[in-house]
Structure 1
Amino acid sequence: MTDGRDKFEDDDFDDKDEGVSESVDEGADTGAEEGAEEAAYVPENPRCGFVALVGAPNAGKSTLLNAMVGSKVSIVSSKVQTTRTRVLGITIAGDSQIIFVDTPGIFKPKRRLDRAMVAAAWQGAEDADLVGLLFDVSRRSIDQDTQGIIARLKEQGRKAILILNKIDLVPREKLLGLADSFNQEGIFTDIFMLSASTGDGVEHLRGFLAARMPEGPWHYPEDQISDMPMRLLAAEITREKLFQQLHQELPYAATVETEQWEEFENGSVKISQVVYVQRDSQKAIVLGKQGSRIKALGQAARTELEEMLEQRVHLMLFVKVREDWENDPERYEAWNLDFGAS
């Protein structure tokens, strides 16, 4: 027990014998280091633009974003509404740099956090050069949330491309009927059918988007895949594992924050994170019997973090009760959400 928190160290680790370098800057980007001496690649006919991915919760936006980028930049879960903020994923296709905005699912908000998430989604759509509406074809018919998105796009006078996702789950005849229903709405310029999870149709969509990006210089270095700070991305990885392991036991009452990030001369990194829950009973759920669940969570998160960072990771997890974290303005600022969104 430390500072009222239950602590889990993913492996035996003592930093006393390590040469500690400066900790990673909280604003460090997931990409090229600032001040790199290598000359930046300059395409002959550069194009660059923003594509907002919108849709109802669990339509597959994060899965598609990761497939487009070729690396994880947004968490994926079978639970709805897991993306809480706008996530920029960056990919190159020929001379085009495509900047994807993976937005929270658009739904009818009830809580403060819901309202902030939906506001972020619409802001991402309004700022984009192109809007892609994702629809999960396994739903079989156009759901109320998707109908609401279409209505608002009509109000804004926005055109969009329709992306029918998860086509591997339904017969072709059903796809054609859905495509026709959407086409009658009059706002879709193009329709794509793909499976973000298998990759079927993803490259076709990437080529289409690349050709339609506005002419202009790239906004980011060639090897940068996201603008998300590493501290936030690491916390999102752990939050994803939390969702995957707890299923229905801890719906949306938990969040994860990276408190400390220490780089060492041997190339390893120590990451300390806090899992915030709202009640003591939820804390017990996260910890599990004799700490078994938090240990499994830490091992899963550490494995993925090591793959992502390509270095050894010493992950330390704490569990702390913060009853009203959903109404803490600082949490919203960290997620780039509007605390006062209505």
Structure 2
Amino acid sequence: MKKCAFVAVIGAPNAGKSTLVNAMVGAKVSIVTQKVQTTRTRIRGVAMVDETQLVFVDTPGIFAPRRRLDRAMVAAAWEGLDGADAIVLVVDADAYREGNSASAKGAARKSAADTDAIIAELKKRGAKAVLALNKIDRMARDKLLALISELNEHGVFDETFLISASKGYGVDDLKACLAARAPEGEWMYPEDQLSDISERLMAAEVTREKIYLRLHEELPYESTVETDSWTRTKKNELRIEQTIYVSREGHKPIVLGKGGQTLKAIGEAARGELSELLGEPVHLFLHVKVRQGWADEAARYRGMGLEIVD
């Protein structure tokens, strides 16, 4: 008997949603960095559990948006719940506990506030979710048990799983639970397909990940990567050309680096991963251009699977 379920994976930025989706799929389908708001679009990862197909929708982190791009990302995250057979709320356990302490400040406080806002919205919608407490290896047992009790007082969660997405702990148990809940139905994707993301978009996402990892605090968040061409050479080798768009002239030298060394390092890292993902050598060529107002262009949003929200 075939079964199929759409699972919306939501949470505050940097809670570990993409890492969890990658772990459940068993392959990298979504980029992962230590930076918040890395995921910009809804990416579907596909996993099989016997005769059950689980389609995970990795959504952008839900937070209090300020920019237009932020608003579009948050809207996409909530839209990811539409039609979902199950909702998994990923919570960074240690950050949430720290964020709700009297001495909390900065990122931890914001992460906890974002999580509380998500729980309140789920409650308002009358939605039930599975709670996935992530990064539990960083917490003492007594504090973890107290946190489980505190979060379940909201009446939103019907199951709680303790996981470490990066180490794989608890992931199989969570996946088995979701498979058991799946309704009967035909599979949405072929059995061997791991994601619905196109190769061109996947390549752009890999390069964007390397930008995030390389530039650290200097990162211009208002940047995007587009795959311009995907061709074969006379030797039938894959040639990919991409443009990194930044919104200000001052961001361009940050991406380029002294003598172009930063861009070269980004390209080498992206080329290596793309060659591994695609199973063949890749010739990758990167260009950096300034495009003021790119974050207000409808076409750019559609390319990321987003819609402009005013």
Say yes or no: TM over 0.5: yes
Other-structure match for 2:193: 224
Q: Displacement of 1:144 after TM fit?
A: 1.0
* Candidates 239, 242, 250, aligned match of 2:219: 250
Which letter does structure 2 place at the counterpart of 1:207?
A: A
Q: Displacement of 1:222 after TM fit?
A: 0.5
Q: State the alpha-carbon separation in 1 of the partners of residues 245 and 209 from structure 2.
A: 14
Contact map agreement 2:42 2:77 (CA 8 A) in 1? yes
CA displacement, residues 280-318 of structure 1 (integer Å, 9 cap, x when unaligned): 221101111111110000000000001100011000000
Other-structure match for 2:276: 307
Other-structure match for 1:109: 65
Question: Do structure 1's residue 206 and structure 2's residue 175 form an aligned pair?
Answer: yes
Q: State the alpha-carbon separation in 1 of the partners of residues 71 and 42 from structure 2.
A: 14
Secondary structure in structure 1 of the residue aligned to 2:161 = strand
* Candidates 296, 299, 304, aligned match of 1:335: 304
Which letter does structure 1 place at the counterpart of 2:36?
A: V
Runs of 4+ in 1 over 4 A off after TM superposition: 264-267
Other-structure match for 1:164: 133
Contact map agreement 1:267 1:311 (CA 8 A) in 2? no
Contact map agreement 2:210 2:266 (CA 8 A) in 1? yes
Aligned pairs for 1:251-330 (under 5 A) are 251-264=220-233, 266-330=235-299
Q: State the alpha-carbon separation in 2 of the partners of residues 107 and 136 from structure 1.
A: 14
Q: State the alpha-carbon separation in 1 of the partners of residues 81 and 211 from structure 2.
A: 29
Q: In angstroms, what is the RMSD of aligned CA positions?
A: 1.1
Q: How many residue pairs align between the two structures? A: 297
Contact map agreement 2:220 2:246 (CA 8 A) in 1? no
Q: Displacement of 1:266 after TM fit?
A: 4.4
Question: Do structure 1's residue 124 and structure 2's residue 80 form an aligned pair?
Answer: yes
Unaligned 5+ runs, structure 1: 1-44
Quick one: structure 1 residues 222 and 266, their matched pair in 2 at CA, closer, same or farther if it must change by over 3 Å? Answer: farther
Question: Do structure 1's residue 50 and structure 2's residue 6 form an aligned pair?
Answer: yes
CA displacement, residues 94-153 of structure 1 (integer Å, 9 cap, x when unaligned): 110000000000011111101100000000012211000000012142511111111111
Taking only the aligned residue pairs, the percentage that are identical comes to 54
Question: Do structure 1's residue 67 and structure 2's residue 36 form an aligned pair?
Answer: no
Unaligned 5+ runs, structure 2: 101-111
Other-structure match for 2:159: 190
Contact map agreement 1:52 1:103 (CA 8 A) in 2? yes
Q: Displacement of 1:265 after TM fit?
A: 6.5
Q: State the alpha-carbon separation in 1 of the partners of residues 72 and 96 from structure 2.
A: 29
Question: Do structure 1's residue 77 and structure 2's residue 33 form an aligned pair?
Answer: yes
Which is helix-richer, 1 or 2? 2
Q: State the alpha-carbon separation in 1 of the partners of residues 287 and 216 from structure 2.
A: 20
Query: Bigger relative contact order, structure 1 or 2, given CA contacts below 8 A and separation 6+?
Result: 1
Q: State the alpha-carbon separation in 2 of the partners of residues 46 and 265 from structure 1.
A: 45
Contact map agreement 1:267 1:312 (CA 8 A) in 2? no
Question: Do structure 1's residue 95 and structure 2's residue 51 form an aligned pair?
Answer: yes
Other-structure match for 1:134: 90
Contact map agreement 2:220 2:251 (CA 8 A) in 1? no
Q: State the alpha-carbon separation in 1 of the partners of residues 62 and 134 from structure 2.
A: 16
TM-score (norm 2): 0.94
Q: Displacement of 1:264 after TM fit?
A: 4.4
TM-score (norm 1): 0.85
Largest Rg, 1 or 2: 1
Other-structure match for 2:105: none
CA displacement, residues 252-275 of structure 1 (integer Å, 9 cap, x when unaligned): 021100000013474521000000
